[in-house]
Amino acid sequence: MADNKTPTGNDTSSAIAADPGISLPRIKLSETGVSALKTTSGKIYEEANQQFRYPNMLKVVSEMKYSPPVSIALGALNTLMNRSEVTVEPITGETATDKVRREFLLSVLHDMDNSWQATMQSISTYKEYGHQVSEMVFRRRLKKNGSKHDDGLVGLEGLKNRPQNSIARWNFSEDGRKLVSLSQSLRNIENPQRFQNIVDEQGHIEIPREKFLLFRADPVDDNPEGVSILRSAYLAYKQLTLLTDSMMVGVSKDIAGLPFAQLPAEFMSPDASVGQKATYDVVKSIVDNIANGTQSAVILPKQVDLDGNEMFSLQMLESKSGKAYDLPLIIKMLQANILSVLSCDSLTMGAEGGSLSLQDGDTNMLALQVSYRLSEIANTLNTELVPLLWRLNGWDTSRLPAIKFKDISSVSLEEHSKWLQRVASVGLLEVDRGVLNKIREVGGFDPKPDDAPIDEDNLSTTLAGKATSAGAGMGVGVTGDGTSKKPGGQDKSSRNSENKG
């Protein structure tokens, strides 16, 4: 006889079981289609712009990184990304064991041979190249192995950078749905014969997928190469390069003048003699050399015609014609376009009188860009590194803490106190440990444990929910300093510029 008892709160399996008598749909649960990523012999041809296909993009990105606006933007992004402190968030219902393991994970990130900052600098290159590969190298946490700890757990020796120019091919499964490994080229390695015992027939080292972290920028169709953030700035970069070169050539010509030579017309005639043609070629070469800056002096024969006019002359013409366009202004516009595409146009605001606060609307896009890139890094660490560390140590992978980067946006203590006073004065702020820890964090104090009791006796009257005079000025006829409306119609609080809407 079937048991028709109502499932209890602890009887999860029976609570989620299918109801009897319900006809279940017949549908294939596994994957049917494919991503249709364009690949040939381990090379990916998804990118429409050939300049950003491998291996061309390696050279293009390297060149773009030396362009001042691109260099400034990447420098700002890298600085802000490295400024953000890495933390580990606890899971819901954290136990004492969970807390110990959370603290273990944070210690692992700071127990590698390379510092976390150096590791982040390598990882951060995924922005401009679209991806970055870090091989996970593990070790037992013993001091004799170079660890700062001696607990015997499996930690990290390092997240070793595998440069983008060393990746020879991506190896997919037979159905093309899954990346199973990558092949690393030893072309740029000194003495590659040292690795003969681990290379394949093509001279490549194969790194299994489960052995490396793959950081990607804006991946589409699960493309392992991602998309370079410099791709959208490429057109403005090319235009800027061409115009800058043209402007500098024009400046050099305006400074030195335009070489101008005169010689009889018969020397330039198609019917000129061999000697005349040779003379013309010599004069032309002299003019070209002067224009190129490779010739500093000229010797010409002193020869006159029958009328006494000199047959040969050479002079520098001064450029006096004005341009119908302003090249410096166009160059400035292109530089601004590059910074704007990279969400770094706010970097010029300081020189133009704007505010550089990351909380301001004009600069918030930079903060959002950095936060988004940090979330990409954290997502890779949480989905690939953390579960593997838990499995290597034999722990339950259903209870995983999460790596997170702190917000880089900063609010001044003055602004924070204004906001806090205003929301607390009207009773819109619930006082709990999370709120108090946030206040302590802004003030530069260490947070207290999440389960630490709240000492209401030591809280300010505003936060404790006690009587506050912040809104007392609304009462007609109530007198007092700063917040009251006096009988004479004067209200001191209305003269406080901080209280104006």
One domain for residues 419 and 282: no
Report d(CA 399, CA 101) in Å as an integer.
10
CA 212 to each of CA 136, 182, 285: distance values in angstroms, whole numbers, following the listed order: 5, 9, 59
Return the sign of the alpha-carbon dihedral for residues 273, 279, 282, 283.
Answer: negative
Strand partners, 265: none
Look at residue 388 and give its three-state secondary structure.
helix
- Report the length, in residues, of the chain: 501
Query: Which amino acid is present at 133?
Result: V
Residue 458 located in a structural domain: yes
One domain for residues 214 and 87: yes
Q: Which of 241, 224, 326, 225 lies closest to 70, judged by CA?
A: 241
So what's the pLDDT on residue 3?
47
Residue 294 located in a structural domain: yes
So what's the pLDDT on residue 484?
47
One domain for residues 179 and 288: no
Report d(CA 70, CA 142) in Å as an integer.
43
Helix, strand, coil percent content, the chain, rounded in steps of 5: 40, 15, 45
Answer yes or no: are the C-beta atoms of 141 and 154 closer than 8 Å. Answer: yes
So what's the pLDDT on residue 41?
84
Is the link from the previous residue into 55 a cis peptide, with omega within 30 of 0?
A: yes
One domain for residues 115 and 187: yes
One domain for residues 288 and 213: no
Report d(CA 330, CA 21) in Å as an integer.
74
Residue 21 located in a structural domain: no
What is the 3-class SS of 220-232, one letter each residue?
Answer: CCCCCCCCCCCHH
**DSSP letters of 7-75?**
PPTT-HHHHSSPPTTPPPP----S--S-----EETTEE---SSGGGSTTHHHHHHHHHTTSHHHHHHHH
One domain for residues 76 and 136: yes
Report d(CA 191, CA 280) in Å as an integer.
56
Contacts of 198-204 with C-beta under 8 Å, sequence gap 24+, read: 202/168, 204/168, 204/169
Structural domain range at position 116 = 39-230
So what's the pLDDT on residue 317?
62
Report d(CA 242, CA 231) in Å as an integer.
18
345 Cβ contact list (under 8 Å, min separation 6) = 336, 339
Q: Give burial (CB, 10 Å; 0-12/13-18/19+) of 343.
A: buried
So what's the pLDDT on residue 501?
47
One domain for residues 53 and 195: yes
Query: Would you tell me how many other CB atoms lie within 10 Å of the CB of residue 275?
Result: 9
One domain for residues 226 and 132: yes
Q: Which of 324, 323, 327 lies closest to 239, judged by CA?
A: 327
Report d(CA 228, CA 85) in Å as an integer.
25
Residue found under tokens 């006809």? 23
One domain for residues 225 and 277: no
Answer yes or no: are the C-beta atoms of 79 and 126 closer than 8 Å. Answer: no
One domain for residues 75 and 185: yes
Residue 340 located in a structural domain: no
> pTM for this one?
0.71
User: Checking phi first, is residue 90 left (phi over 0); if not, alpha (psi -120 to 50) or beta?
Assistant: beta
Q: Give burial (CB, 10 Å; 0-12/13-18/19+) of 80.
A: buried
One domain for residues 51 and 152: yes
Per-residue pLDDT tens, the chain, 501 aa: give them: 444 444 454 555 667 777 888 888 888 888 888 878 888 888 898 888 999 998 899 999 999 999 999 999 999 999 999 988 999 998 888 899 999 999 999 999 999 999 999 999 999 999 999 999 999 999 999 999 999 999 999 999 999 999 999 999 999 998 888 999 999 998 877 777 788 788 888 889 999 999 999 999 998 888 999 999 999 999 999 999 988 887 776 666 666 567 778 888 888 888 888 888 888 888 888 888 877 777 767 777 777 777 767 777 777 666 655 566 787 888 899 999 999 999 888 877 554 544 445 445 555 788 889 999 999 999 999 999 999 999 999 999 999 999 999 877 655 567 677 777 788 777 777 788 878 877 777 776 766 777 778 877 776 544 444 444 544 554 444 444 445 444 444 444 445 555 554
Residue 147 located in a structural domain: yes
Q: What does R_g of the chain's alpha carbons equal in angstroms? A: 35
Strand partners, 185: 204
One domain for residues 282 and 187: no
So what's the pLDDT on residue 313?
77
Across the beta sheet with 131-140, the strand order is 154-162, 131-140, 212-216
Residue 386 located in a structural domain: no
**DSSP letters of 223-272?**
-TT---TTGGGHHHHHHHHHHHHHHHHHHHHHHH-EEEEE--GGGGSTT-
Residue 421 located in a structural domain: yes
Q: Structural domain tally of the chain? A: 3
Q: Which of 290, 278, 281, 282 lies closest to 315, judged by CA?
A: 290
Q: Point out the domain boundary residue: 317, 342, 360.
A: 317
Answer yes or no: are the C-beta atoms of 473 and 484 closer than 8 Å. Answer: yes
Q: Point out the domain boundary residue: 294, 317, 340.
A: 317
So what's the pLDDT on residue 438?
78
Residue found under tokens 């166009």? 330
Strand partners, 404: 87
